[in-house]
Amino acid sequence: ENVPAKFAGWRYTQTRGGERALLAVKPARDTTLHLAAVPGQEQAALKGWTPVPDTTFNYTDGGKTKMCLYARDVKAGEDILVPQNNWTGTLLLWAE
């Protein structure tokens, strides 16, 4: 809910709530990846990811958990493991 207009309509990963997931990405071209995570995650877990200013929205749980967007520039062929550190995990977002 309340997804910033710039990211409205983007695709995203979906995993089973409360279950650990392993998300890996190997981009075909140089790009910027975006992920959504709850604020305050351990910075070590998000090493290499930069907060995107003014891009919060709400998770769809009963408490409407706040989510923040982060970005990371990656090179073609680079193997990236997407951190999954708490009950919400993280969502990987991409434009069509």
What are residue 12's DSSP bridge partners? 93
Q: Is 77 helix (H, G, I), strand (E, B) or coil?
A: coil
- What sign for the dihedral angle of Cα 31, 59, 19, 41? positive
Burial of 69 (0-12, 13-18, 19+ CB in 10 A): buried
Instruction: Answer yes or no: are the C-beta atoms of 41 and 65 closer than 8 Å.
Output: no
Residue in the block written with tokens 């309509």:
9
Q: Tell me the pLDDT tens digit for each residue of 46-85.
A: 888 899 999 999 888 888 888 889 999 999 999 998 877 6
pLDDT of residue 42: 59
Q: Which pTM was predicted? A: 0.82
Tokens of 51: 């907060």
pLDDT of residue 22: 80
pLDDT of residue 17: 67
Instruction: Answer yes or no: are the C-beta atoms of 50 and 87 closer than 8 Å.
Output: no
